[in-house]
Amino acid sequence: QVSPEQVILSHSPLQLFSQFHQRCMLVAGQGPVEENAHNLGFKHVVTIEALRKAYPLLDMVDHSRRPKELPPPTTGFPTIEGVILFGEPVRWETSLQLITDVLLSNGNPGAELQDVPYPHLPILACNMDLLWMAEAKMPRFGHGTFLLCLENIYKKVTGRELKYEALIGKPSPVTYHYAQFLIQQQAEKQGWRAPIRRLYAVGDNPMSDVYGANLYNSYLKSAQQNQVQAGVKRSPQAASPQTEASLELRNDCSNSVESCESILVCTGVYRHSGDAAKKAEPHTVGTVFHGHRDFCFDPSLVEASYIVQDVDDAVQLAFKKENWS
């Protein structure tokens, strides 16, 4: 049975960003975003819906939702000090508009500023997948697509780049580092004395799952070569603001892990036409990079160490490689 501490969601590493836990944060996405934020340590959160109700003149795309008469001025609403993007929202036009309003107004969407503030308020974004696989024959839009819209709207309106305080979730190295930390915690609870040398990352998306595992493997290799350095050797593909969180985590992790093997399964975004369960042959999985803007494309990073049919085969492969079968 899997315990809660063994499950890592895309937003789980936000627990590390304690410097924002006391700030008033706007949270966007769907599901229990307010509850999720509180569970991660954030004390003061405002939802898109609460912001919309406080400032009804902001949400004007849907004619049926426009106020029928001029509402009274908004008073007492807190100044927003940062933005958390958990995942794709239901009403994209509302979230895109209101998030942009918050950034352009420095957290006071009822105010009228003469100049656009820059740098803008900090943004913590989770889950960067451009696409994901559902029951439809073709992949569906993911949160990465929403981020792409927000980035381009902000740049079109201001002429400047939208910047992230952190990008969380695959393929971010901080997410794999956080996973390593939890795995080592579990090993200690089980009383395992032998150090963990290899990690196995299983996924169906070459552009996020495989890319992230290979990027983290590169990080591990670099860390081995630079253990005498105080800081984390930064990869050119890694979003720069995440280094601080990685450093915090690094202080709690031992340096025993040497590699992270990527295992690609054929039951989701990726479909393999040949025989599975074999060492992956070098070939370019895709020529169009679906990764986030802040992660540079490297064809070698989307090449899986192994390709298998499904998750069960991936587990059996890991057992075999560790001589557990």
Tell me: the pLDDT tens digits for 234-265? 444 444 444 444 444 544 444 689 999 999 99
* pLDDT band with cut points at 50, 70 and 90 for residue 225: confident
Specify the higher pLDDT residue, 74 or 276. 74
- 136 burial (CB, 10 Å; 0-12 / 13-18 / 19+) is exposed
- Give the model's pLDDT for residue 233: 40
* pLDDT band with cut points at 50, 70 and 90 for residue 4: low
pLDDT at 6 over 70: no
Give the mean model confidence (pLDDT) for residues 272-294.
63
pLDDT over 70, % of the chain: 84
- Give the model's pLDDT for residue 229: 53
Neighbours of 293 (CB within 10 A): 17
Give the mean model confidence (pLDDT) for residues 139-148.
95
What DSSP state is assigned to residue 210? I
pLDDT at 232 over 80: no
Specify the higher pLDDT residue, 211 or 242. 211
pLDDT at 321 over 50: yes
Structural domains in the chain, sorted by start: 4-167 (3.40.50.1000), 173-231+245-322 (3.40.50)
Mean pLDDT computed over every residue of the chain: 87
- Give the model's pLDDT for residue 131: 87
* pLDDT band with cut points at 50, 70 and 90 for residue 286: low
Neighbours of 101 (CB within 10 A): 18
pLDDT at 279 over 80: no
Cα dihedral 27/42/246/130 (nearest 10): -20
- Cis peptide bond N-terminal to 119, omega within 30: yes
CA separation for the pair 194, 190 (Å, rounded):
11
* pLDDT band with cut points at 50, 70 and 90 for residue 3: low
Question: Of the candidates 86, 314, 295, which has an alpha carbon nearest to the alpha carbon of residue 208?
Answer: 295
* pLDDT band with cut points at 50, 70 and 90 for residue 142: very high
pLDDT tens track for 145-155: 999 999 999 99
